[in-house]
Chain A
Amino acid sequence: MALNNIIIQGLLSSLIVFFLTKFNKKVGGFFTIIFSGYLFFSLLSYQNSAGEIFDLVKFGEFDISFITSNYAWFFSMILSLTYFLVSFFNPYWMKKLINPAAYNLLFMLSMVGTLGVFYAKDFLTMFIFFEIVVWASLFIIPMGKSRKSPIIYYTISSIGSFSMLYAIFYLYNSFNTFDIETISSAVISNPNEYIFVFFLMIMAGLTKLGIFPFHTWLPAAHGSAPHTFSPVLSGGLVKVGGFIALIVTAVIPSFNIFSDHLQIMGVPFENYLIMVLGGISIVVGTLMAIKQDDAKKLIAYSTVSNSGYILIGIAMVDQVGFAGGLMHIFNHAMASGAMFLSFAGIAYRTGTTKMSELGGLIKRMPLSFAAYLIAIISLAGIPPMSGFASKWLIFQGLSSNGMMFLAFAAFLVVLVVLCMFSGLCLLHF
């Protein structure tokens, strides 16, 4: 199946789901499982494909087209798997939502949007799908507990996306193209110009990942979104930010471009600055998480700190650390999805996510408890789980470059997370 057809089918499926849900809520919910599973399995075959180009439409004088690549496949697999797994909750959740038809429509639309971001051939395509993801997910959040959080989400998100848009047009003005590959080879000769673009572009990644100065939207949006959408927001959409960071640091080879600039611990200062922000988010996210009583806010803050790990891994562009960052994207997607979903199950039964009102759930909901336990063990980075592997790789990358300060911050946090989660588990389950 050609990639452009898959995207078009995804867009159409969102409309089909909308009308099916109008007709019958449960049927619509089941069809989101079918369609997201279909997208997941049809994208599986692109594992070894790279450099294949697919045109979608002509948009005025611009082309909207896709290109396959290994990193895009990796990201698209994580995202579509998250969506696919979460969609199993949808049929049971329909009766609790004010507008199930719109929920299903936007659910599918945001899924297709993320796929478009990953496979985009040029920055314009990437931006278009990025914005589709933003507004599609935006309108799901107010169906949950808060009408203010989507505005916080939109504000922070559009600060990021508009600075990216500015950078995109800045590049277009200089090089007369949106194509990522052409630009990445063109900027190598203009490193000083790229500093400006680098920081503007990575803003979109930072805001989406919820890195330190922009972390406030995560607890607001994830904490108050409908329970079935929080896992998508945290496990899925945050990773779009990771992808943008990957594009600006690794796909456009920031290490080569900045090789003449001031180096700190063997890393160009631009990348180092981003890594420091990641380090701060690790600490801030964890410290804030301890204070929370609402389980969803707690997981949202832990997402902030895990985004910090991901960003450090990606911005380091050290072979080991980079692998760790990418692997952590997968681990965090699965683990935070599992945590949010187990709390969705708890909220489905009990109607609350406040931990002070819960207790003794291990006897009543042993399966949810087990899922939650495995997820937090993985996130805390304890050996038998895959979270250990990814965090270990990030540490190794950090310490082999001599960045002990960041490594220490990251390690300290692991201990805190471990204590906190196990304490919470003992207390409330």
Chain B
Amino acid sequence: MINPILLVAIPLLAAFLSIMVKKLSGVFLFGVSLFTAIGSFFIENGSYVIGGWKPPFGINLVVDDYSFLILIIVNILFFLTLLNGMWDLKKNETVLLVTLAGVNGIVMTGDFFNLFVFMEIIAISAYILASSTEKYYSVFKYLILGTVGSSLYLFGIIILYGTAGTLNMADLASKLPEISNSVKVLAFTFIFSGLAVEAKILPFNSWVRGIFGNSNTLTGPMFSTVYATVSAAVVGRVFGQILTIDTNLIYAFITLTLMTFIFAESAAMASKNLRSILTFSSIGQAGLIITMFLLGGFYAALIQLVNNAFAKMVMFSIATKTYSSNEDDDIDNLAGIFRKHYMMGLGFTISALSLIGLPLFFGFYGKINILQTAFATNMWIPAFILIGSIIEGIYYIRLLVKLWNPGKEGDESSEEAGTSYTILNGFTVSIIALVVGAVFVVAGITPEFLVENIEKAANSLGDINTYLSSVMGGI
């Protein structure tokens, strides 16, 4: 058993050391990331007080089944992303270590201001990482929107602090019924808008295209999996458990997230580049997952979160590898590339089919849970979700058909018509793609072996009393 504070402290310490001992920074990065990936399995549930001040006065980290699950996923994804992107590190080892600390902190923190601090840490790391692709205009846009978002978030929590006098999550959750509705609406809207920037929800997601669409083998998988998972998970924690919305405001939020889903999927259908297709698909999936969190379908949301995170990791790794090898990712020019790279093709295909939610793959289990949850609340939401997933299916199938079957329209598909492009340094990606693909297939046939932990996490997210007693029990 290890203390979860170490998951934040050790990466931070290593970040400082890596500045002093430049030569060993790579060793620090991979070592620490491996340590957190393994260490996250060995943490125990409970509330951990930092600095001796008990909550609600001091800052505390909370480990429950929910943050435990997210920590494991995120740390594994972080390590795999590093393996995929080790040719594109570009001396960003220190930044990545800080990111790791921030990511682990944001998942576990039990305090709204602390959440803000960690959010800023990972946002600043994200700006630096994104600028390594040298698309400065998009990074600048990201910087502006990110700053606006965090200011809005800060406004929101200031309002709550002014009314309730506390920023501790557990304390605030228990004081929430005393706050008047009009204050809640204002504060929640600010907080939601602030979180929506990172979570890629509609009016605040114009930065995503420039950042994801121009990503390299490190930043692509990093943003689309680690960052996406964490930001969706934070929305789940904040709006699913702590700040439960009991007014009509929730329909405004759900409208936004559903619109994000449908518009992003439509935009993906209109895209011709592999990375932009995946970008828009990421935005769409974020919309879907957060819709589920807001509807209270934590189980469905978490299944889709896991499904999306791992599928996108495989797909974004392959897409960015393709781009970095050929300086091009137009899908017409890539026709038939999977004929040369069987293993990557297989992993990519399974991931895509799982993301669409076709049976025999894990995503199907997610889809039926999503529909079940959506139907329990409203007749229209499942209809919109199905329309969105038809669109999603169409462009993924189009992509897969092109990448597997070269050939002019009207001629039999043949090897001669295939692309001349190849994917370099693809060994690790192939292995990871195959392993993820195999897990998707096995979990698609018997989901039990994966969903037990997800179910526990969903239950703990739905159960505010256990959360409260684990934090406030120490007072």
Contact = CB atoms under 8 A, between A and B. Distances in A.
Contacts of B409: 145-148
Contacts of B270: none
Main secondary structure of the interface of A (DSSP, over half): helix
B134 interface: no
A310 interface: no
A233 interface: no
A165 B371 contact: yes
A159 B360 contact: no
B382 A132 contact: no
Interface string B420-456: 0000000000000000000000000111100100000
Interface string A60-75: 1010000000000000
Nearest to B411: A145
B393 A154 contact: yes
Contacts of A129: 359
A92 to B, nearest CB: 15
B410 A146 contact: yes
A429 interface: no
Given A128-B364, A169-B375, A162 B411 contact: no
Contacts of A169: 368, 371-372, 375, 382
B448 A58 contact: yes
Contacts of B389: 162
Contacts of B413: 98, 142-145, 147
Interface in A135-151: 135, 138-139, 142-148, 150-151
Contact of A159 (B390, B398, B402): B390
Given A98-B415, A147-B405, A162-B386, A138 B410 contact: no
B186 interface: no
Interface in B358-412: 358-360, 364-365, 368-369, 371-372, 375-376, 379, 382-383, 386, 389-390, 393-394, 397-398, 400-402, 404-407, 409-412
Given A124-B368, A166-B382, A139 B401 contact: yes
A173 interface: yes
Contacts of A127: 359
Interface residues of B, number: 43
B302 interface: no
A1 interface: no
B393 A142 contact: no
A144 B412 contact: yes
B448 A60 contact: yes
B302 to A, nearest CB: 13
A145 B410 contact: yes
B404 A142 contact: yes
Nearest to B447: A60
B334 to A, nearest CB: 13
A142 B409 CA distance: 10
A368 interface: no
A151 B401 contact: yes
Contacts of B335: 147
A399 interface: no
B69 interface: no
Interface string A301-338: 00000000000000000000000000000000000000
A132 B397 CA distance: 14
A162 B410 contact: no
A150 B335 CA distance: 15
A163 B446 CA distance: 26
A143 B405 contact: yes
A154 B397 contact: yes
B181 interface: no
A172 interface: yes
A155 interface: yes
B73 interface: no
A98 B415 CA distance: 7
A131 B359 contact: yes
B414 interface: yes
A99 B404 CA distance: 9
A96 interface: yes
A129 B386 CA distance: 18
A398 B364 CA distance: 42
A147 B402 contact: yes
Contacts of B386: 162-163, 165-166
Nearest to A170: B375
Contact of B397 (A131, A138, A143, A163): A138
B339 interface: yes
A163 B389 CA distance: 12
Given A57-B445, A151-B398, A172-B372, A158 B390 contact: yes
B108 interface: no
Contacts of A173: 375-376
B353 interface: yes
Nearest to B379: A170
Nearest to B395: A151
A98 B446 CA distance: 32
A169 B376 CA distance: 10
B265 to A, nearest CB: 13
B457 to A, nearest CB: 16
Given A142-B404, A147-B401, A151-B398, A98 B410 contact: no
Contacts of B445: 57
Nearest to A153: B397
A61 B279 CA distance: 33
Residue in A138, A145, A170 whose Cβ sees the most chain B Cβ within 10 Å? A145
A226 B405 CA distance: 13
Contacts of A59: 365, 446-447
Interface of A: 57-60, 62, 96, 98-99, 102, 124, 127-129, 131-132, 135, 138-139, 142-148, 150-151, 154-155, 158-159, 162-163, 165-166, 169-170, 172-173, 226
10 contacts: A58-B448, A59-B446, A98-B405, A98-B413, A102-B404, A145-B410, A147-B401, A158-B394, A166-B383, A173-B376
The 8 closest A-B pairs by CB, nearest first: A142-B405, A128-B359, A142-B401, A173-B375, A98-B413, A162-B386, A154-B397, A131-B359
